[in-house]
Amino acid sequence: MAVILFLFRISSTPILSQTLVEPNQNFLWETFSFVFPEPVVVKLESTTNQKLTVYPAKRDGFFMVVRTLPWTEPLADKSLWMDSVFTRGIDLKAFPKTLGNLNFQVFQADQIRNQNALRNQVWIRMDAKPALWIWIQWKSDRKDLTEFFESNRFLSL
């Protein structure tokens, strides 16, 4: 009985769509336009809040999760998400970032997971309610991805 309920719960979160997005093609979600460094599969899911998940289509290297936060003040209780994102994070940094007229608080840390050196960034948009949350994780040995994400080229403004 529990297995049936578990399977029902998995299938009760509908995937709205899956789309292949080519490199440097603008992908519009909500009011944001994203650009990706290589072909990706973009999956839109309907949960309590809308959720966008991005996976590489051809090779491993990064993933991205974008969603609106249910909290009115996402920085008030960081314990809700910090432990899951930055598990044993190394050199955790937090800094503000302004892109055009958008204000973000960016959290960044390195970590070792499954024998991979990873870089994590969480971008939280500060001037909108509900807040926008972007989690990006990529392999540190992919210098092309480090340059792409740290120079903010994923947000097409």
- CATH, residue 51: 3.40.1000.10
* 156 domain residue, yes or no: no
3, 60, 110 from 137: Cα distances, Å? 32, 11, 9
C-alpha of 23 from chain center = 17
- pLDDT score of 40: 94
Q: Which domain holds residue 86?
A: 14-150
Please check whether residue 103 lies inside any domain of the structure: yes
Residue found by looking up tokens 């249910």 in the block: 70
* 3-state SS assignment for residue 63: strand
- What does the mean pLDDT of the chain come to? 79
* Mean pLDDT within 124-136: 80
At residue 25, the pLDDT reads: 92
Contact 6, 127 (CB under 8 A): no
Residue 5 lies in a domain: no
Element (H, E) at 2: helix 2-11
In total, how many domains does the chain have? 1
Block residue for tokens 């029902």: 8
Express each pLDDT in 11-54 by its tens digit: 444 545 688 999 989 999 888 889 999 999 999 887 667 789 99
